[in-house]
Amino acid sequence: MNVTELDNVVVRFSGDSGDGMQLTGTLFSNLSAILGNEISTFPDFPAEIRAPQGTLGGVSGFQVHLGSSKVYTPGDIADVLVAMNPAALKVNAKGVKKTGIVVIDTDSFGEKDLEKAGYKTDNPFEELGFSEVTQIIPVPLTTLTKASLADFGMDNKAVVRSKNMFALGVVCWLFNRPIDKAIHFLENKFIKKPDLLKANVKVLTDGYNYGNNLHLNITTFRIEKSSNLPKGTYTSIDGNKATAWGLIAAAEKAGLKLFLGSYPITPASDIMQELASRKDVGVITVQAEDEIAGICTAIGASFAGCLAATSTSGPGLSLKSEAIGLATMAELPLVVIDVQRGGPSTGMPTKTEQTDLSQALYGRSGESPIVVVAASSPADCFYYAYMASKLALEHITPVIFMSDTFLANGSSLWKLPKLAELPDIKPFKAPDSLKNNYNVAKRDAATQIRYWAVPGMEGFEHRNMGLERDAEKGNISTDPQNHQKMVAARAAKIDNVVACIPDVVVEGAQDADLLVVGWGSTKGHLMGAIQRMNSKGHKVALAHFNYINPLPKNTAETLRKYKKVVVCELNTGHFAAFLRSKIEGIHLEQYNKVAGQPFNVTELETVFTALLEK
C-alpha cells in the first residue's frame, strides 16, 4: 500500500450529537500533538442537548488541521471527512474537497436514513455533486462494532455508542498514527470504568486493524513532526483549560491563593470545572446561585487578599456590570473572564463572535475605566490569562480577559512553560512605611495605583466601599472637586498601564500596501490569508492587538504609516470605532462578520485583494 508524505491535512469528524464526534476529534488531535504535529481545531456543535437522530439540525462536527509546519487555522475546507450518517454528509458537503476522502458508516445510509436527511435520490454523493475522483471508504461501522463487542455483554445502545472508536481506528490507520497514545488517553478517561475502557480499546484496535486489512487501492498518509519547534514538552490544550492553568500559574507566581467565584454558562463553564478539580494546588472555587453572586464572592476574596477571578459569557457579563463597577470604585484586583458567544441574550450559545468588546470597554455606570486584554489562540489563553492576573495585581484594578467560543473549545499545540520562565508578579501591597498611617485612598503619586492592604495586616485596618471617597483621607465624600480629582486618578491609573505592555508588532511585508488590523481570536485566519497573499506577490502586513485598553503606545504611529488600513473583526466594528475614538483623523476600512462562525482564509483573501485594487 502506498504512503504519501503530506505537509498538512484537514480532517473533519461529523455525526449526530450522540455519536461522540467531539471525543473522537479531541483524541485524534491530542495524538497528533503528542507526535509533534502543529494543530488547530474547531469543534462545532448545536446548542440543543439532542436533536432528533439523523436530522440536519443535530449534526455535530470537529475539524482539525495538522501539519509538519506552522498551522494558523483549522482550515477552510476538509481533505478528509468522516460522516457517520447522511445528515453529516449533507451538512458538510460544501466543506470537503470534491477530490478528498470520505469515510462513511454504510450501516447508517439506508433508505429511511436518506429520507430523514432530506435526500431526493438514493445516491447521496451524486446528488451532492461529489466528483468521480472522490475516494469513498465504505465501512459498516455499526456492524463491525457489534461484532467487536459481541462477547462483552453490553446492551445494544452502549455498543452502538462505541462505533466512534472504530472510526478513530480507521482514521489512525489512514494517517499512520500509532494508537498506543490514544489508548493511554482512554485509560485516563475511563480510569474508574474498567469495563468501558476495555470495550473502547478493543473497538479502537479493531478499527485500526480493519484499515490494515482493507483490500482497497487507497493511499495512506504520513505527516512528519514539526522541525521548527523549540525543544520542550508539548501537548494539545483548549482555550478554557489554558485559561484556568494561566490563573493557577499567576497565583503561584504571586504567592497568593487563587479564588474563582462563578456561575455555569456556555461556553465558559469548563474553566470553573477545571479549577474545581485543582484543590491539589490550593484553588478555591465557589459555584454561586447566579452571576451577580459569583462576582461578588470574587470581590470579597480580592478584599481578603486572594488572586480573585470570575468567569462568564456575554449575558453574564451584562449581569456582572454593576459589580465590576464596584470593583473599579473600590480599586480591587479582579480578573473577569468573558468567553464571548453569539448574542444578544441567549443568542447562539455554542457559536463564536467578538460582539462583547464595546460592553467590555464601556458597559458600566459612571466613568469606569478598565484594562481589557484578549487572547489570539487556545494556547495563548494561558499567557494572557496570566498577564491579565499580573496587570490586575500590580495595578490594583479589575481586568477583563476576553476569549470566545472558537478559542474556548478549540485546541492548539502548547509548549509547557516552566514557572521560572514566566514574568514576575509583584502585587502592589502597601509598604511598611504606611503602617498606622494607612487609608483606602493611599496611592502612588507617579502611577496613581492604590496601595493594597488586606485583613490581617496589622496597622492597615480600613474600610472599602462603592461610595466615592475623599482623595486624602479615604472617607465618604460627595464634594464636587474631590469627585473630579478621583475620576481623573482612576483614569490615569489605567492610562499608565501602557508603560507595562509591549508595543504592537507588524508581521508580514514591512513595506506593505495594505495593513490588516485584528484583535483576539482572528489572528490565525488573518495571518493565513496574509501569507497566502504575500506568496502571490502582494504586500500585506498584520498588526494584531492583544492589549485593547490601554492601546500599545505605538498604535497611532504604526497605523499612520500605511495608506490603506482595514480592521477585521467578528462584530459590526467595535474595535474600529474604538481606534477612531483614540486616534484623531485616522481612516479605516472595515470587514465585519457576525455569523457565529470564524473567518475563513479564502474570504479574507478576496476582501484584501479587492482593497488592494480599490
How do residues 86-115 score in pLDDT, each as one tens digit? Answer: 999 999 999 999 889 999 999 999 999 999
3-222: what CATH class?
A: alpha beta
For residue 215, pLDDT over 70 is answered with: no
17 confidence band (pLDDT: 50, 70, 90): confident
Q: Residues 502-511: what's their mean pLDDT?
A: 96
Which tens digit of pLDDT belongs to each residue from 328-380?
Answer: 999 999 999 999 999 999 999 999 999 999 999 999 999 999 999 999 999 99
Give the number of other CB atoms < 10 A from CB of residue 176. 12
Query: Given 3.40.50.800, 1.20.120.80, 3.40.50.150, 3.40.50.920, which CATH number is that of 506-613?
Result: 3.40.50.920
For residue 423, pLDDT over 80 is answered with: yes
pLDDT at 327: 98
For residue 176, pLDDT over 90 is answered with: yes
Give the number of other CB atoms < 10 A from CB of residue 403. 30
Q: Residues 3-29: what's their mean pLDDT?
A: 94
For residue 313, pLDDT over 80 is answered with: yes
For residue 61, pLDDT over 90 is answered with: yes
d(CA 487, CA 366): 9
For residue 47, pLDDT over 90 is answered with: no
Which tens digit of pLDDT belongs to each residue from 107-124?
Answer: 999 999 999 999 999 999
H or E element at residue 517:
strand 514-519
What is this structure's pTM?
0.95
Parts of the chain belonging to CATH 3.40.50.970:
235-421
Q: Residues 210-225: what's their mean pLDDT?
A: 85
Task: Count how many residues are written for the chain.
Answer: 614
The answer to whether 139 and 213 have CB atoms below 8 angstroms apart is no
| Distances in whole angstroms, Cα of residue 520 to Cα of each of 151, 234, 340, 498, 599 | 51, 23, 11, 18, 12
User: Per mean pLDDT, which range of 216-225, 370-379, 387-396, 466-475 is the poorest?
Assistant: 216-225
Q: Residues 590-607: what's their mean pLDDT?
A: 98
For residue 216, pLDDT over 70 is answered with: no
| Distances in whole angstroms, Cα of residue 370 to Cα of each of 232, 523, 575 | 36, 23, 15
Parts of the chain belonging to CATH 3.40.50.920:
506-613
pLDDT at 130: 87
State the Rg of the chain over Cα.
26
d(CA 28, CA 12): 11
d(CA 425, CA 417): 16
Q: Residues 533-538: what's their mean pLDDT?
A: 97
Which tens digit of pLDDT belongs to each residue from 426-476?
Answer: 999 999 999 999 999 999 999 999 999 999 999 999 999 999 999 999 999
pLDDT at 200: 94
134 confidence band (pLDDT: 50, 70, 90): confident
Q: Residues 284-299: what's their mean pLDDT?
A: 98
pLDDT at 98: 82
- Tell me the CATH number for domain 235-421: 3.40.50.970
131 confidence band (pLDDT: 50, 70, 90): confident
Parts of the chain belonging to CATH 3.40.920.10:
3-222
User: 147 CB contacts (<8 Å, ≥6 apart)?
Assistant: none
For residue 611, pLDDT over 90 is answered with: yes
For residue 508, pLDDT over 90 is answered with: yes
Compute, in degrees rounded to 10, the torsion defined by CA atoms 405, 406, 407, 412: 150
Q: Which amino acid is at 200?
A: N
Which tens digit of pLDDT belongs to each residue from 539-566?
Answer: 999 999 999 999 999 999 999 999 999 9
Q: Residues 237-264: what's their mean pLDDT?
A: 98
189 confidence band (pLDDT: 50, 70, 90): confident
Q: Residues 136-154: what's their mean pLDDT?
A: 94
Residue 107: exposure state from Cβ atoms within 10 A (0-12, 13-18, ≥19): buried
The answer to whether 340 and 569 have CB atoms below 8 angstroms apart is no
d(CA 219, CA 204): 21
382 confidence band (pLDDT: 50, 70, 90): very high
Which tens digit of pLDDT belongs to each residue from 517-526?
Answer: 999 999 999 9
